[in-house]
Structure 1
C-alpha cells in the first residue's frame, strides 16, 4: 500500500518505465505519482549547466554529489575552467573557482582576464 491506496503487486508500477515496484525501493512525487528511484532522479534531478544531463547518484550510492557555483549546478567532472578546461573540483594550487562576469574560471585565467580588462581600460583613457 502506498499513499493510502491498495495495489495488486503487479499493478504497483513506476509511472515512467512501468517496472513492478513490489518489494523494490520507490518514491512518490509531489503529485502522488509513483516512480522507481532511477526514473525519479532522471525526471527531477538538477541538470548540469555544462552537459545538461541530470546530476544523479553514482551506481550503488544513495547520495548525489554536485557542485553549485553562480547559482548553476555541475557534475564534479564538468566543473572546469571555461577558458583552459582545468578541473576546478580537485585539490591543488589555483584549482578553486575564480568567477568573473558570470564565467567559471581558474585562478590564472581569471587573473589574465582581469589584466586584459585593466590594460583595455588604461588604453581607453
Structure 2
C-alpha cells in the first residue's frame, strides 16, 4: 500500500536564515600586525552558493565589511615586544665639548655618563624605575615600557601580561584577541591546535576555531548534499532533518517538494507517484 503522507502537508515551507548576510571573521593584517573584525558577504565556492553561514551569534552593531579598527584600537591586535638592551658607559667629556644633561635629574654630568635609547643618565640614576627596586641597570640590562626603564625581574612580575593559553608571562610579542592575551604561538584553533597565522578564525562560545573545524563542529548541514545551510539560504525542516530548499527532492525522481505534500518512506521524502 502507498505510504501515508506527512501529517502536515506544509511542513516543507521554506525558511530563511535571517540576520546580516555573512559571518563574523577575524582577519590578521600581516603588514600592520593587527586583527580586525569584518563581516564577509557570501562568496561563490565549489561548495555551492556560500560556505560562510550559520554563523554563531554576533554583535549586530557591525555591518557588512565594517572594520572595527586596527593599531590596537579594536578588540584584536598585536603588541610588539618591549625594547631591551644595555646602557653604554661613556667617559667624561673633554674641555670644549657640550656637557650632557641627565634625563633623570636634569643636571649637567661632569663625570662619566651612560647612554641608552638616545638618552643620557648619571650612572647613579640609570636604575630600575620601580621605587621598591632601584636596581642599577648597567650590568643587568633594561626593559623599556612607555618610556620608563625596568629591570627584567620587575617587568616580568608587574607589567608582563599573562598568556590566557599557557598561563606564563608574555615577555616578547603579545597577541590580543577575543578579549584575551596570548603568546603568538599559543593562539591556536580550540579543536585541532593549528596556528592561525594570517588566516581567519571563527568565534564560538568565546573560543577561536579554524574555518575547517568551525564548519565541521557548528554549522547546520543539509541532509541531502551534506554542505552547510548558510546565512540567507532558504531551507526546509522535515523528517527530523534540515535541507536546502533546492535539495528537498523526491528520492526517486528528484522532483522538488518544497511547499508540497510528500510521503515518508524509510525516513526519506518521496512524491506521490513514487511513494508506492
Change (3 A) 1:38 1:75: farther
Q: Does residue 49 of the first structure (1) align with residue 199 of the second (2)?
A: no
Aligned alpha-carbon RMSD (Å): 3.3
Larger proportion of strand:
2
Structure 1 residue 38: Cα displacement:
1.7
Change (3 A) 1:96 1:34: closer
Structure 1 residue 54: Cα displacement:
5.5
For structure 1, the residue ranges without an aligned partner over 5 or more in a row are 58-62, 89-94, 117-125
Q: Does residue 99 of the first structure (1) align with residue 261 of the second (2)?
A: yes
Structure 1 residue 85: Cα displacement:
4.1
Q: Does residue 28 of the first structure (1) align with residue 196 of the second (2)?
A: no
Distance 2:193 2:179 in 1: 20
Q: Which residue of 2 aligns with 1:79?
A: 248
Counterpart among 176, 198, 211 of residue 37 in structure 1: 211
Distance 1:20 1:87 in 2: 45
CA distances 1:50-84 after superposition (whole Å, capped 9, x unpaired): 47x46277xxxxx68563243731257853313x1
Q: Does residue 68 of the first structure (1) align with residue 68 of the second (2)?
A: no
Distance 1:19 1:78 in 2: 34
TM-score by length of 2: 0.29
CA distances 1:21-67 after superposition (whole Å, capped 9, x unpaired): 1322001111x12101221111011133347x46277xxxxx68563
Give 3-state SS (helix, strand or coil) of 1:74's partner: strand
Q: After alignment, is 3-12 or 65-74 more displaced?
A: 65-74
Q: Which residue of 2 aligns with 1:120?
A: none
Distance 2:199 2:237 in 1: 35
Structure 1 residue 99: Cα displacement:
2.9
Larger proportion of helix:
1
Query: Could you say which structure has the greater relative contact order, defined with CA pairs below 8 angstroms and 6 or more residues apart?
Result: 2
Give 3-state SS (helix, strand or coil) of 1:6's partner: strand
Change (3 A) 1:16 1:76: farther
Change (3 A) 1:97 1:9: same
